[in-house]
Structure 1
Amino acid sequence: MEKERDGNGEGVPLLVENKQILFKGYINGIPKETDMELKAGGKIELRVANGSSRILVKNLYLSCDPFMRGRMIFSRASYIPPFVPGSVIEGFGVSRVIDSDDPDFRPGDLVVGLTGWEEYSFIRKDQQLRKIQHHDIPLSYHVGLLGMPGFTAYAGFYEVCSPQKGDYVFVSAASGAVGQLVGQLAKLHGCYVVGSAGSSKKVDILKNTLGFDDAFNYKEETDLNAALKRCFPSGIDIYFDNVGGAMLDAALLEMRVNGRIAICGMVSQQDLSNPDGIRNMFCLISKRIKMQGFLQSDYLHLFPQFVKDMVSYYQQKKIVYIEDMNEGLESAPAALVGLFTGKNIGKQVILVSHE
């Protein structure tokens, strides 16, 4: 790199190389590394044109999230538009402002929002952009603990699940970016919490690092109903569902009367052209179960309280957060693919650049 504009915006910025990860074309099933391409050699000028209302940022951390797979499929209806083949992949990231034509953002500001999978990006504040206020929290946590996954856990548990002290709570994909926080919030609320995960190492983390009361490896269970009966002999009050499919079907049979199910994700079904049906829906009637899908964006009015609460929990060491950090932009495709094969433990993040 040659020279960036300084914090006062002085000097003439020069052209620098801008590595990018491009989306090659729409997919079927699980994404592969070959569905993405590293492009090097492109140049970018570290200057924002007057009147553009754009913000130039240097990307520091990029987030890998399951919703990004939905943007790689053209035919499936989703809540966010698909990627355009040949374009830079987009996701949440932590960045430092280099230059700006927006008075709300100045050079040197640390921000989090939707950005490109590249070293430098031109973005606008309508891309869910906000300044980072809590500089005593690790920067990468702003796409995890204090980012979309953290807020998903917070809104889903408190608003959709309506927890009560003493509830029996089951969390699937419990060692992931969302599940690990749901379980810890439930414990702080006075609940009994069990999680499922896909390896013995993850099960050990759930019980011995994250404080779950119990956990099991679903890949080692020949009968999911038996596993849930073993963990919840009196039944389940709350199921926070990240996987759908057979686990949801089994959980329905074990729910207690007036139970609540938050449908957060369907990762077990995402690579199926003909997703599995759910056979035990009659339980919704006989047990008067509330089952609700949701998006964290439905509850943005709660975001300030969420940040206040989570910062407090973290500072008091009431919550821990586990990350899986890959280094280098070139590692991003493999990291994203790993989400759908259970490779990651915790929140998957890409370190693009140190400050």
Structure 2
Amino acid sequence: MPDSSVSDSLRPTFEWLYGGDCPPDEFRVEVAPDADFSSPAAVVGTASADALSWTPDADLSPVTHYAWRVAAGSASVIGPFSVLQEFWTGPLCGGAEMQPPQLISPADGSYVPDPSPLLDFDYPETACLQEWFSIDVSPDPDFATEALHATVGPSTEYDSDLAYLTDCTLYYWRAKAVYAEDMSGPYSAVSAFFTDITGGCAPHTGLPRIAGVIWADSCQAAGSPSPVPPAGCVWQEGGLAPDGVRQDAEPAIPGLLVRIAPGVCTSPDMGWTTGPTNEEGRYSQVVLPGTYCVWVFHDRDGNQAILGVGRWTHPPGGYDAPVRYEIEIDWGEERTDLDFAWWNR
């Protein structure tokens, strides 16, 4: 079983060489998920001295990361084990229905003292093994330039001895599943981290964060019109409409992309996208101090397929044009109230 390979069998054959001067009585083979040889799921087997190979009697678990090792044994004494070799069991995923990875480390908004930190993420697919992933690290939130572009797999970790980060810099990173040469899944949500490699960066109280929730606004009205609108509704343009205040029963809207741009709100095409919003309708983006414009296109960035026909009811200030927030944010601040409400009529 070659190191870092993928086995297409749940009963792979393990092979080794032995160069000791004294022939052993047998070989002891150990196979364990995630190299945890004390785990109850670890498998132990023996092979005769002249076999130099071993195949387990039962299936290993599918879609699992394993490590294996072998040692010579004589007179019930086990010698030193070989260097660990790792492998994964399949089946491999195809190119259909690839999922966005979930970034773990560096965590969003964290400080990193390493010029080449470990990049760690998780992949939600459990029925098959995703073989390859693409990772991007950039000082630009729209990834216009690259500090790192790497391909890894099936491991969901990337580690490098190459120092590719600059000190006192805000970096953004993302990952996606890839298949063959021309197919890829959706990107993960973008995470950001700040490098403080030498400890000499200007002191501050924390990275600013822009965040909010997008929800589906509604107006539930029945019966004869009343001068007093029902809860959650207002009179508008001769009829009832949602009031732009979130009620307990109004659901979140996941999957939307939010636009963020440095500076005042001017061109509708400026800025970069962040998201998508999660199952709670939440988006979040770490930024540097400054002025920012935050808005959502109802008819761009893939949002129209989710929103359908309707209009914005929150924040106040316009129905059909993109409603926007223009904010100032400083070190240590978190603006988590930049919410949007959509009325799907």
Q: Structure 1 length as normaliser, TM-score?
A: 0.23
More contact order relative to length (CA 8 Å, sep ≥ 6): 1
Answer 1 or 2: which has greater helix percent. Answer: 1
Bigger Rg, which one: 2
